[in-house]
Structure 1
Amino acid sequence: MKNVRVSVRAVCYRDNALLLAEHRDERGLWYILPGGGVQHNETLDQAFDRELLEETGGKAKMGDILFVREVLADRLDTNYLPAHLHQIEMFVEATEFEIVAEPAEFDKDQIGFVWMPLEKLDELLFFPKAMVQSFQNKSFDKIYQGHIR
């Protein structure tokens, strides 16, 4: 049996922009919200702090869970996720963001981070694509969003 991975992602708005981790690979540029896996014996808020610092050099106040989604790699038509990945992602509100250091450790293919204007989200290779309208409206209609891409 494979383990289920839990991750936490920061949803951080500034004016009409969203903080995104920027990546580049053979597909070109692509974007996700900063965050990542919760390590053994680490709480969600500790993982939130660590991941933000690693990927952006920033700190923020962790707010409420906005929504949860599930990723099952074996049910997606992609070669870009690890085989058999089953991940539960918690997207949490991030407020009072400030840069406090240089980013400590970019993820694979990460080249930086950007404040992306909300109106540009639907033009990007952005994950989770199914949530673009919710991010643009700053409105999440239910907590569990299911298995989405």
Structure 2
Amino acid sequence: MKIRSSVCALIIKDDQILTIKKQDKDKFEYILPGGGQEFGETLLDALHREVREEVGAGIKNTRLLFVREYIGKNHEHSERDEGLHIVSHMFSCEIEEENKYQLELDHDQVGVEWIKIGEQPNYNFYPKELITHLKKLDIERSFETYIGDVN
């Protein structure tokens, strides 16, 4: 199996976090907008594309906040995700233009939903560990860590 590179958008507005609502059998799961990086695509290009597709919006003020690894065999959905190894780049960003683009929902995506920060434990929110890091985060004081496709 190969390691997959992906991006996620952490969009916070009025003490709420934007999530993608997905149907998983008999329950809902909530994740950040995002997905896989395509060959030849920069992380920022992938981020813009994924938010356009899943949220229907443009974004601005992007900043890399976290890098997360997900090795499926080590987590609660190991029977489903055993062959997955994903390196996910989590960017903070802001909505620039809402409803500008046509939604291209994933097969299990049922909508987009804002969740009040601090209420994620009441939802099936993934990644769960992000909640701990959000409490410690000061986006305004973080510094630029992604410099893009440079030589």
Please give the range of the TM-score, normalised by the shorter of the 2 chains.
Answer: 0.7 to 0.9
Change (3 A) 1:83 1:42: same
Change (3 A) 1:114 1:80: farther
- 2:20 aligned partner: 21
Hey, what's the Cα distance between the residues in 1 that align with 2:55 and 2:81?
Answer: 24
- 2:149 aligned partner: none
- 1:101 aligned partner: 101
- 2:88 aligned partner: 89
Query: Percent of pairs identical after alignment?
Result: 29
- 1:118 aligned partner: 117
1:14 to partner: Cα distance = 0.6
How many residue pairs were aligned? 140
**1:1-149 to 2 correspondences below 5 Å:** 2-78=1-77, 81-99=80-98, 100-103=100-103, 105-139=104-138
1:62 to partner: Cα distance = 4.7
Hey, what's the Cα distance between the residues in 2 that align with 1:45 and 1:111?
Answer: 25
Deviations 1:20-68 (A, max 9, x none): 0011122411100000000011111110111001101011015221111
Deviations 1:80-113 (A, max 9, x none): 744311100010011244311231x212311011
Change (3 A) 1:71 1:98: same
The answer for unaligned runs of 5 or more in structure 1 is 144-149
What TM-score does the superposition give when structure 1 sets the normalisation length?
Answer: 0.84
4+ aligned runs moved over 2 Å, structure 1: 79-83, 133-141
- 2:148 aligned partner: none
What TM-score does the superposition give when structure 2 sets the normalisation length?
Answer: 0.83
The Cα RMSD (Å) is 2.1
1:50 partner amino acid: R
The answer for unaligned runs of 5 or more in structure 2 is 146-151
Change (3 A) 1:92 1:79: same
Hey, what's the Cα distance between the residues in 1 that align with 2:36 and 2:18?
Answer: 18
